[in-house]
Chains A and B, each alone.
Chain A
């Protein structure tokens, strides 16, 4: 398919009729350049509307998109205005002209649609139009046979929103649509439908033969075979459900792992904050203990302050003792006997019998004064205060030092918490939630996936057991039917149906497997052709599963779909599109589709842009680019000049609100600006 010309009238931003001639042949690149807001996407919309009658694009969030030019509607308030899009295209060496019209009017209540129409004509060699279809549905059906809507997004897309690969691996609904589109594109859906029809036909032929035979044994065998076939269908349905459940769980797991991975730094910060909180709590507890110690020590301080008084008191105590014969206290004598050593002179009482006898006699004859108890108390107090006075300064100093250390530790921890908390304050709730999911959801999902895999494997084994039983019963039935010569011909026809179904099934299975293998190899090749040299080692391996799930692995088996830049991801999407088109078009001349890209370079760095500009014209039959001015700087212009593949260049400019104009430029004119 080639798109040749586009004409728009009263359509979107285009007040006056506008015309674009698309380049094809050797110079197959068409450039449409304009600053944002001039109507580039209006052209994209015109193409999609012309082909499929579709008003909305993937990026539209508004429910209602008006296609008729607002200025025209305003000027003709109350009267109908016709917007028209005409697309000329070529398919299988035939030229067609497709026109869609939409009639709307505007009044005080807003804009109202009156009607929509479409015609498709074949253009004769002399330029005459021979009408083929004149209803929007017929026209859409015709175009859909050339480029099925499910795969149109591979060729007509907005690169800024191109999330093809993410959709292939993450978004369930989109992913299923794209996978179905790929199967359609590779004609796998067609083969599958053919095979199913042959299988159903065979079953109905055998049921008819059974009915005609009127033999209870044959009826019994057919019932058994049907039952076994039904069982296989049920088991396959179970496997399909298990596969989908497993696939959903895998998608959820991938997405959760990615989220956890992306938040790993935040989680580490959160763990650091938690650790600092523990340090702070422990330091504050310590401070409280030290305060208590200091309070207890203040009691001793008052006594220490009284130590000077004791100097005078002790002299008096000594005098009293001498006066009262309380030279030494009874307590000293008792302690000397207990320890076996005289506490006054130091004699070894255990080995000096005489000294021992002396101390004992002193104790026996001891006569204390009435003040002895008081004197003992004063002496004990003096001893304690002396001890306190010795220890208290260093103990207090140590307590103060510990207090300072603990306070600093608590303050330091708090400062760390404050510093880090600012970064993650808003994410705290999410992180807690994520932590919870990591603890519970991840193992649950892994378990679910494993269970699904086991179920699928068990089901495959069950089918393998049932299959020989069906074949055995079919053989017996065949022998029974062969006994009835009237049914022989019908049996032959049914056998032939089964043989063709089996042949087709084997072809489908081989083609499906080989195509996935080739597609995987081709994606890697295309990526390396499109990407700059420094990134050509990026992909180590591409695999495409039986369900057309794509996995792209880099070094150390890293899943690249989760680990590449937006630009690289866009190149990978392009590589996938080219690889798919190359395989699907093998031997099919009608499969050359234009590649129509809105905002192609926005996400690509300049080196990749250069490379894409150089390589893409060789990979696509036609390349139409809707470029913003920032995507068409001197560097890109130089790239296009070097490539020598630009056939048409247009500039889109806004003359006034709702009045954009498309002007054809020579490439040199554009460069001369």
Chain B
């Protein structure tokens, strides 16, 4: 769980960005993930969100 003030800050992010950051922070919380894996996963997330927005 994130500290309340951090959550408040992130909740101000635009739709899509907020979900990506939450995903990123949850990947970091899991100590078994290396930075390289975290970047790959987040790159895919951003890619799919931008593609989805583009399609809409």
Contacts and interface: CB of A to CB of B under 8 A. Distances in A.
Interface of A: 141, 144-145, 186-187, 190-191, 193-194, 197-198, 200-201, 204-205, 489, 492-493, 496-497, 499-500, 503-504, 507, 510-511, 514-515, 583-590
Contact of B50 (A187, A201, A492, A587): A492
B50 A496 contact: yes
Given A201-B42, A510-B9, A187 B31 contact: no
B25 A190 contact: yes
Interface residues of B, number: 30
A288 to B, nearest CB: 81
A197 B21 CA distance: 11
A587 B2 contact: yes
A153 to B, nearest CB: 20
Contacts of A583: 3
Nearest to A194: B24
17 contacts: A187-B6, A191-B6, A193-B28, A194-B21, A194-B25, A198-B24, A201-B43, A204-B39, A489-B51, A493-B46, A493-B47, A496-B46, A500-B13, A500-B46, A503-B17, A507-B6, A590-B1
Contacts of B10: 507
B1 A588 contact: yes
Given A493-B50, A497-B46, A503-B13, A197 B38 contact: yes
B1 A194 contact: no
B25 A586 contact: no
Contacts of B31: 141, 144-145
B47 A500 contact: no
B21 to A, nearest CB: 6
A523 to B, nearest CB: 17
B46 A587 contact: no
B15 interface: no
Contacts of A186: 3
Contacts of A515: 5
Contacts of A204: 39
A507 B9 contact: yes
B54 A492 contact: yes
A205 B43 contact: yes
A102 to B, nearest CB: 25
A197 B3 contact: no
Nearest to A196: B35
A253 B4 CA distance: 39
A594 B38 CA distance: 33
A510 B6 CA distance: 9
A297 to B, nearest CB: 94
Contacts of A197: 24, 28, 35, 38-39, 42
A499 B17 contact: yes
A511 B9 contact: yes
Contacts of B17: 496, 499-500, 503
Interface in B3-35: 3-7, 9-10, 13, 16-17, 20-21, 24-25, 28-29, 31, 35
B55 to A, nearest CB: 11
Given A503-B21, A504-B21, A583-B3, 9 more contacts: A197-B38, A492-B54, A493-B47, A496-B50, A500-B13, A500-B20, A507-B6, A587-B1, A590-B1
A141 B49 CA distance: 33
A145 B17 CA distance: 26
B54 A489 contact: yes
A187 B3 contact: yes
Contacts of A589: 1
B12 to A, nearest CB: 8
Which of B10, B24, B35, B49 lies at the interface centre, i.e. has the most chain A CB atoms within 10 A of its CB?
B24
B42 to A, nearest CB: 6
A387 to B, nearest CB: 102
Nearest to A584: B3
B39 A489 contact: no
B27 to A, nearest CB: 9
A511 B6 contact: yes
Contacts of B25: 190-191, 194
Contacts of A497: 43, 46
B39 A586 contact: no
Contacts of A191: 6, 25
Contacts of B16: 496
**Which of B3, B9, B54 is the most central at the interface, judged by chain A CB atoms within 10 Å of its CB?**
B3
A519 to B, nearest CB: 12
Given A145-B31, A193-B28, A586 B46 contact: no
B32 to A, nearest CB: 9
A187 B21 contact: no
B28 A190 contact: yes
Contact of A489 (B1, B4, B38, B50): B50
Contacts of A510: 9
A497 to B, nearest CB: 6
A587 B7 contact: yes
Nearest to A193: B28
A283 B53 CA distance: 99
A587 B49 CA distance: 29
B50 to A, nearest CB: 5
A514 B3 contact: no
Contacts of B47: 493
A609 B25 CA distance: 42
B6 A198 contact: no
B5 A586 contact: yes
B29 A190 contact: yes
B56 to A, nearest CB: 14
Report, nearest first, the 4 A-B pairs whose CB atoms are least far apart: A587-B4, A507-B9, A586-B4, A588-B1
A40 to B, nearest CB: 33
A507 B50 CA distance: 22
Given A194-B21, A497-B46, A500-B21, A201 B39 contact: yes
A497 B42 CA distance: 9
B5 A511 contact: yes
Nearest to A509: B9
A511 B3 CA distance: 10
Contacts of A503: 13, 17, 21
Contacts of B21: 194, 500, 503-504
Contacts of A587: 1-5, 7
